[in-house]
Chains A and B, each alone.
Chain A
């Protein structure tokens, strides 16, 4: 096999890790609160700016900057829920989606207003690993590893802890859980914080690989909705598999054709899958 194709496949695999983490955060909110945060990728953008400013401008060590960014986006997530989602929780579902769409406009424009449209790079050069004749970026490998660990921690949290069980239960039947004495509002806020935190973690991993600019959310935002739905709502394992399918399509497609055509194929696949498997690839 062609060495460059192998490289493309490996890079696709590594990209899949971060996409999976992003889809996981969105999926959690989607599954538990039953709301689509159209602006999720833009919250990630805020996190990337947080990492950038804390590290480059205020000279904080990168680890500390990342930790602060995760907390920052988690707080943003809670604010989004309290200020935007909670008031329309009982309105038509599409209104919630649209309200966060307004947030998308707001965040992108506000970031443009504050930071301008320049592309900002952290300026951290991580080494490139050479295996035989294949080159793998260390940043991507690191991102992949952390994303995997993050996903596993979330899985353990949802499976092993009392709070996690409550979150899973409420995603299955929100009315009964209220009668069982679970405080729905509290669970929603905690879920929003976790969803935001996962976005913050993804932001740190993305900031290592890509330049930050106000519209970066548009490049991978639609992609994570596709992954989320493709995997099946509330189905974490399905989302994980879908992330790797999509990232492989993009990686291999980019290798044979241009990146845009690869995206076109991915989106067309999504549309077709919505028709033939509306409950996701693992759905019954």
Chain B
């Protein structure tokens, strides 16, 4: 345990110092990795308990569009707009989550209901083209008050915002892990009826994790849009984005704390790497390899990179320890 704390400390220090000595391009990538990692972590909070949502783009979309629209039309600062978007997203999660859990919509059906939800948000944003710009997307009005408008010409402030939010996401994960809630959710994902019969409030546990997941996803979406200063229904809440969230989280490992972030690192490294390597000659190359990897991951490594790595490491440790234990056992007989 001590060792992992030291490692975490070194990691945080390295991340804090990063903008000082890495090139600006890498800072740009790191911001996206952290923000996307945060969103994937938020998704995994539900996903690891068998609540597979294919519509997290809905929460991302609400989180991104509400502050942008409030800013452009009423001049409301994102400092107020983002909480509004997050609250609205949480409300959406309640509206969809409550009947789903009450009526025991699970598995495939839950996935399809959330998929439909994502479509509703994406198509609404497209259809309301008079205010959102439709599928052409929209840009936040420029402002010279950097912190007031959350628009920076320099990348460093945003890097620190992303870092703080990402660490906050990891802490939220740890907070959910502590206490009885986590065990309760594990039990629910194994057998809902049995969990209910031993007095677990299935409804409350599921709602709690769903609302937190939706709210954090909305926050991530809002910051991403604020960073890129561009929103588009397709890239913010389309079916592609929703699936991207699911798959990056799975590839990285949705059962481990750092798994989703590893997924975001892997995805971005792959896309950027192939883009730099091939240039624009092979537009679909990155996603082709990505899709192929996903299929292989789900078949052979459902726990993802980090999960499989941890398992492998544990097995190595027990294997080296085993002969000792056997010796002790025989000597005591």
Residues of chain A touching chain B, judged by Cβ–Cβ distance below 8 Å, are 36, 84, 87-88, 91-95, 97-99, 101-114, 116-117, 214, 218, 221-222, 225-226, 229, 257-258, 260-261, 263-264, 267-268, 270-271, 274-275, 278
Contact = CB atoms under 8 A, between A and B. Distances in A.
Given A93-B107, A98-B250, A108 B284 contact: yes
A97 to B, nearest CB: 6
A36 B239 contact: no
B291 interface: yes
A225 B103 contact: no
Given A94-B107, A274-B113, A264 B99 contact: no
Interface string B281-308: 0111111101111110111001000000
Contacts of B293: 102
B108 A267 contact: no
A210 B52 CA distance: 33
Contact of B116 (A97, A113, A261, A271): A271
21 contacts: A36-B111, A84-B295, A88-B299, A92-B50, A99-B298, A101-B294, A102-B291, A102-B293, A105-B290, A106-B290, A106-B291, A110-B288, A111-B284, A112-B287, A113-B283, A257-B127, A261-B124, A267-B119, A267-B120, A274-B113, A275-B100
Nearest to B250: A98
A228 to B, nearest CB: 9
Contacts of A226: 112, 116
Nearest to A34: B108
Contacts, number: 144
Contacts of A222: 115-116, 119, 239
SS of B interface (majority): helix
Contact of B288 (A106, A263, A271): A106
Contact of A98 (B116, B246, B290): B246
B291 A278 contact: no
B120 A268 contact: yes
Q: Which of A36, A98, A108, A114 has the most CB of B within 10 A?
A: A98
B117 A102 contact: no
B226 interface: no
A222 B115 CA distance: 8
